[in-house]
Homo-oligomer: A and B are copies of this chain.
Amino acid sequence: MNIERRSTGSRRASAALVSRAERLCHDQNLRFTPMRRRVLAELAASPEPLTAYDLADRVREEKRVAPVTVYRALEFLLDAKLIHRIVIRNAYTACDHAPHHDATPVFLVCTRCGTVEEVPSEAFQRDLSETIAEAGFRPKSRVFEIEGECAKCHAAP
């Protein structure tokens, strides 16, 4: 099974990701405001997930902003499926899969460098879904997050 990798290392992708988001919002009649753009750009430029307070600090360098404003932007971006929340980090990361796959991805979170890789999970979820269906459980949302050491860090000294 092959794996799509998030190019977390490349900051050049940030501009592309933001303009893609802009098109996507325009097509869906969603308002891609300066604040939302700014928050997404910061996330897209960061190799690791950022907390709401991290984001507030970064945005604040050019304009005073309260955490709640960042939370509102994050909520919009989550709804638009432009970003993900990494629950085990209480942090947020841009999604560069477009259009977004349906199944909730699995996130591989490196304990050394902090990067997050997003892995599609269709195959696993098929099996899991059967088991869950047998239990009569109706899933609405899922969190699959794995902490460990990424390939790069493992190779490093």
Check B148 against A139 for contact (C-beta < 8 Å): yes
A150–B136 CB distance below 8 A: yes
Chain B residues near A106 (CB, 8 Å)? 128, 132
Q: Are B143 and A88 in contact (CB under 8 A)?
A: yes
Copies of this chain per assembly: 2
Whether B119 lies near A135 (C-beta < 8 A) is yes
Nearest B residue to A106 via CB reads: B128
Q: Which residue of B lies closest to A130 (CB)?
A: B1
Q: Are A147's CB and B142's CB within 8 A? A: yes
> How far in angstroms is the closest Cβ of chain B from A121?
7
Partner of A131, one of B119, B131, B132, B154: B119
Cβ–Cβ contact B139 & A151, under 8 A: no
Considering the chains assembled together, what is the distance between the CA atoms of A123 and B123 in angstroms?
12
4 pairs of A and B residues whose beta carbons are closest in the complex: A136-B151, A139-B148, A140-B148, A138-B149
Interface positions of A (Cβ within 8 A of B): 1-3, 5, 87-88, 106, 108, 110-111, 117, 119, 121, 123-124, 127-128, 130-132, 134-151, 154-155
